[in-house]
Structure formats: structure tokens, C-alpha cells
Amino acid sequence: MEDVRTFLHFGVLLSSVLFTIGAAGEDYFPEAMDVQWVSNNFKTILTWGPEPTNYTYTVEFSRVGKDRQRNPHCIRSSRTECDLTNELRNLQETYSADILSEPLPGVTSDLVEFPYTRAERFSPYKHTKIGGPAFKIVQSEDKTKMTLHIQDPLTPLYKDDQLLTIRDIFKSDLKYRVIYNKAGSTGKKEKMSDLRDVELTNLDKGQSYCVIVAAYIPSRSAQKRLGDWSKAQCSPRENKTIFEEFSFGVISGAIGIMLAIFIILITLTVVCCKRCCCKKTKTVDKDNLQMSPV
């Protein structure tokens, strides 16, 4: 009888353990990994991995010290990214975000708190990457000055039904860094400007210059101050006449050399012709002597 009672107790204990393991297995939701903010010109997306299987992700975010909020498109979603551009409207604030691993919609769980991964704190003003700007080169009439007309990159943010540019946001904190050099040369010059129209002066007339431009935000940390570089553009090289390309002395020297060569060629030609004529005359005289009667 005692053996039967012991066996029953063991069976109940084993069933309880197996049930607990099974329940824990059903409520296992892996935490998100590789959480990153991807932000370009204030277009801000939170990304992570891996792709979920039999569970979903929910994103919660807030300004530091404020109540947490949720984006309706990022609740119990199978996607591994969440666009928070329109939620992070206070651009100079610092935000935190959590990615919760939750059951599929309609599925319940006994977990009181779901696993989550916290993203690094993020401030759009301080951390968004600024793309390389487009610009146009205009040369002065004397070809010794270039003006760069830089286009402030657009953002996806609106105010009064108008798209904002990065200048609308950074205002006087926005500068442009310009690097330029003669085409084919490694020597570079640099200029910093607060304006969209940048003048490059004291250029060598007729030379082609290549230029790249990047936004520069001095209030940021050192690693975040410089934006992406633009594509390089080069001014056209002026097609000069021979009199504009070379000095009078060089041209005179070249003409003198050409005349000397010409005179030498004529002289050699005359000498060769005289020798040929003289040789021919001697041959004719010899022949006449041989044919004369004795």
C-alpha cells in the first residue's frame, strides 16, 4: 500500500513538472536583437531582428522621463522595423524605445511582463545623418571665380503644408564644408560657409576645378558633425587659343626653331640636288668620251 501511495505521489509530481515545462515552452518569446536607429535627414526608423516565428513585436517609445506611447502600426506586428518619423516631432528631445516580444494576436499568455530589448537613447537633432547636398557651379566671366549654389536637403517633415529643409530645422547651426582642387591635382583647399551660395575666388584662369560639399553641424559631437559628402562636380576647362595658352617668348622661340629646321631642310635638299646633277654630268661626259672616234 505504501508503494502505491509513493508511486501516485511521484506521478502527480512528474505531471506537474511536465505541465510547467510545456506552459513555459508555449510562453517563450525570444528577445529582439541588433536594435538600431536608422535616421537620414530626419526620416527615422527603428530596426531589429530576427524575423518572428509564432510570436510578434510591439514597439513602445517615449521622451525620456515621459509616459510611454505606441505606434498603432507597430503593435503585435511580424515586421522588424517601425517608422517613428512622425512620432518624434520634438526633434531636440531625447527618446527611448523598447521592443517587446509578445504572442500572436488573439493568443493569450500567462506572462505578466513580456521580454523586451531597449534601444539606445536617440535624439533626431543630434543623431540623424545628413545626406550629401546637390549643388550647381556657376563661373564668372573672367573664369577666376566660381559660385556654388547649394540646395538644402529636404526632410520628410511638414509645417504649414510645406516640406521642411535641414536649414529650417538647424537654422544658424547649419554650415557647409567645401573641398576643391584643380582637376588631376592632389592639392586640396577647404572653405566653410554659413550660406547656401559659396564663392571660390582667386582661381587659375582656364583651369578646371573639382568640388565636393557636405553639411556641417558644429553643435554636435565630433563624430556626428559632418554629413555625407556630395558627388564630385568639376567646372569645364576653357579651350584657349595658342596665343592665350603660351607666352609671346615661347611662341617666338617655337617659330624660330621651326624656321631653323625649315632652312636646314632646304639647304640639305639643295646640296643633295647639286651632288646628283654633278654626278649625272660626269657620267654623261664619260659616255661621250667612250663614243668619240680615235
H or E stretch covering 134? strand 134-139
Laid out side by side, the sheet with 189-193 consists of 189-193, 175-182, 209-216, 233-234
Torsion angles phi and psi, residue 80, rounded to 5: -115, 35
Q: What is the pLDDT of residue 257?
A: 86
Chain segment 205-231, per-residue pLDDT in tens: 889 999 999 999 999 999 999 999 999
Non-local CB neighbours of 22 within 8 Å, separated by 6+ positions: none
Non-local CB neighbours of 118 within 8 Å, separated by 6+ positions: 35, 96, 97, 98
What stretch(es) of the chain map to CATH 2.60.40.10?
33-127, 135-240
Q: What is the pLDDT of residue 10?
A: 46
Does pLDDT of 28 surpass 50?
A: yes
Q: Could you please state the CATH topology (level 3) that the domain comprising 33-127 is classified under.
A: Immunoglobulin-like (2.60.40)
CA distance 215 to 210: 18
Please say whether the beta carbons of 176 and 151 come within 8 A: no
Give the count of beta carbons closer than 10 Å to the beta carbon of residue 108.
7
All 3 cell numbers of residue 97? 524605445
Q: What is the pLDDT of residue 254?
A: 73
Q: What is the pLDDT of residue 127?
A: 98
State pTM to two decimals: 0.71
Non-local CB neighbours of 242 within 8 Å, separated by 6+ positions: 251
Torsion angles phi and psi, residue 8, rounded to 5: -65, -45
Does pLDDT of 24 surpass 50?
A: no
Please say whether the beta carbons of 167 and 174 come within 8 A: yes
CA distance 249 to 259: 15
CA distance 238 to 260: 32
Lowest-pLDDT choice from 21-30, 102-111, 284-293 = 284-293
Does pLDDT of 25 surpass 60?
A: no
Q: What is the pLDDT of residue 121?
A: 97
- pLDDT bucket at 65, cuts 50 / 70 / 90: confident
Non-local CB neighbours of 90 within 8 Å, separated by 6+ positions: 63
- Beta pairing partners, 200: 146
Please say whether the beta carbons of 232 and 210 come within 8 A: yes
CA of residue 254 relative to chain centroid, distance: 49
Return the percentage of the chain with pLDDT > 70, whole number. Answer: 80
User: Which superfamily does CATH assign the domain made up of 135-240 to?
Assistant: Immunoglobulins (2.60.40.10)
Higher-confidence residue: 181 or 109?
181
Please say whether the beta carbons of 157 and 164 come within 8 A: yes
CA distance 222 to 218: 8
- pLDDT bucket at 14, cuts 50 / 70 / 90: very low
Non-local CB neighbours of 63 within 8 Å, separated by 6+ positions: 90, 93, 94, 95
Chain segment 110-135, per-residue pLDDT in tens: 888 999 999 999 999 999 999 999 99
